[in-house]
A and B are shown apart, each in its own frame.
Chain A
Amino acid sequence: AQSVTQLGSHVSVSEGALVLLRCNYSSSVPPYLFWYVQYPNQGLQLLLKYTSAATLVKGINGFEAEFKKSETSFHLTKPSAHMSDAAEYFCAVTPRYNAGNMLTFGGGTRLMVKP
C-alpha cells in the first residue's frame, strides 16, 4: 500500500522568503506525484504533477517540485512567497498502473505568509 507524509501541518514564512513544503512517499515503485492547493472555502486545484518525465517539475504561480527517488521525496518550493500563496497544500500519490487513478492524499500543510 502506498502512503504520503507531509512534514509540518503548519508552515509560516515571511513575504519574499523561500517556501519549502515537504512531502515523502512510500511506494515499492516510483509513483505519479501531485501537489494541490486549496484556498479557503474552495475545492482543490492542481499545482503540478510528476509522471516520470523531467524530475524537476514546474507548476502554476511560480511553484516547482523535484522528484528525488533516492529520498522518496517530492518537496514543493517557491523562491519568494507572496501573500496570495497563503492556503493549504496537499501532496498526493497514485501508482503508475492504476485503472482507477485513485489518489492518496497527505494530511495537508497550511502555509501562512506574514507581511
Chain B
Amino acid sequence: NAGVTQTPKFQVLKTGQSMTLQCAQDMNHNSMYWYRQDPGMGLRLIYYSASEGTTDKGEVPNGYNVSRLNKREFSLRLESAAPSQTSVYFCASSGAGGGYTFGSGTRLTVV
C-alpha cells in the first residue's frame, strides 16, 4: 500500500539513550513533517522539511534533530532522551494542495 511508513512502532528508552525514528513515503511528496501527540494537546509540530535538502524547526524542536536523507526519507533523532519526550510520534507528508498522509505512529516511552 502506498503511504507513509514509520519504524519502529514501539520503543522503550532509558533516560539519556539515543535513538532515530525512521520515516519513508512513496507518494513523491515534497514536504514531510514530524509531530508529537500528547493527551489533550493535539499534535504539535517538531520539525518539517518543505522540500528535499531543507529542514526547519516547528513549535517544539528542543531535544530533537532531523535529517532529510532524500525525497523519500525524513528521520527524527533523539540524542539524549528525557522522560518529557514520552509521546506518540507521527510522521506525515504532503504534496500540492495541502492535506497530509500520516504514518501509523511510534509510541515512545522514556523511563
Contacts and interface: CB of A to CB of B under 8 A. Distances in A.
A5 to B, nearest CB: 10
A45 B92 CA distance: 11
A100 B31 contact: yes
A91 to B, nearest CB: 9
Contacts of A45: 102
B79 interface: no
A107 interface: yes
Interface residues of B, number: 26
A89 to B, nearest CB: 11
Interface string A1-42: 000000001000000000000000000000010101000011
Nearest to B35: A105
Contacts of B103: 43
A63 interface: no
A111 to B, nearest CB: 15
Contact of B45 (A44, A90, A99, A102): A102
A73 to B, nearest CB: 18
B86 interface: no
Contact of B100 (A42, A44, A99, A108): A44
B98 interface: yes
A44 B90 contact: yes
Nearest to B56: A100
A30 B89 CA distance: 29
Nearest to B4: A43
Nearest to B29: A101
B80 to A, nearest CB: 27
Given A90-B43, A102-B33, A102-B58, A49 B99 contact: yes
Given A44-B90, A90-B42, A105-B43, 9 more contacts: A9-B40, A42-B105, A43-B105, A44-B102, A45-B102, A101-B100, A104-B45, A107-B40, A107-B42
26 contacts: A32-B98, A42-B104, A42-B105, A43-B102, A43-B104, A43-B105, A44-B43, A44-B100, A46-B100, A49-B98, A51-B98, A90-B43, A94-B98, A100-B48, A101-B31, A102-B48, A102-B58, A103-B33, A104-B45, A105-B44, A106-B42, A107-B40, A107-B41, A107-B42, A108-B40, A108-B42
